[in-house]
Amino acid sequence: MPKGKIVVFMGSKKDYEFASRINKFLKQEGFGIQCDYLIASAHKTPQKLLEEVNKHEGTEEPIVFITVAGLSDALSGVVAGATSHPVVACPPDLEKFGWAKFFSSAVTPQGISVAYVPRPENAALSAVKMIALSDPALRGRVKVYMQRLKEIAKAKI
């Protein structure tokens, strides 16, 4: 099993249906990365959110946070401001809010880095690739996955 973990922060329980696609993708593709789900709101429970981020801050294992939050996505920026680990914003309501959602999630002050990946499967893959930077075996699995995608695309041409 690869060293590394994806921690998915959701702003509320209603985000789980969308966010669950992250772990489904990891399992379906056999990446073997642990995926934990936590509910914490940057607006309503900021102390809980910061406590959860801090629990992961001291670990040596590679961690990527994926944030799934609707409305004004303060969750992504707050997590990014409190951690040295990568943060990927994956909003569940892009279709509803359009480009305004991009600004809410990804336009952050200098030094607060948030990647914006609106599809849960792609957010999971981005996190896997980040973790694979320190895990050659996982990087090999990513290459196999990417090769399979190429073969599927060639077959459709």
Q: Match domain 5-156 to its CATH number in 2.30.30.40, 3.40.50.1820, 3.60.15.10, 3.40.50.1970.
A: 3.40.50.1970
Whole-prediction pTM: 0.94
pLDDT in tens, 15-71: 999 999 999 999 999 999 999 999 999 999 999 999 999 999 988 899 999 999 987
- Res 110: pLDDT: 93
Beta strand extents in 12-116 (DSSP E only): 34-39, 63-68, 87-89, 115-116
Under a CB-based contact definition with an 8 Å cutoff, are residues 63 and 77 in contact?
A: no
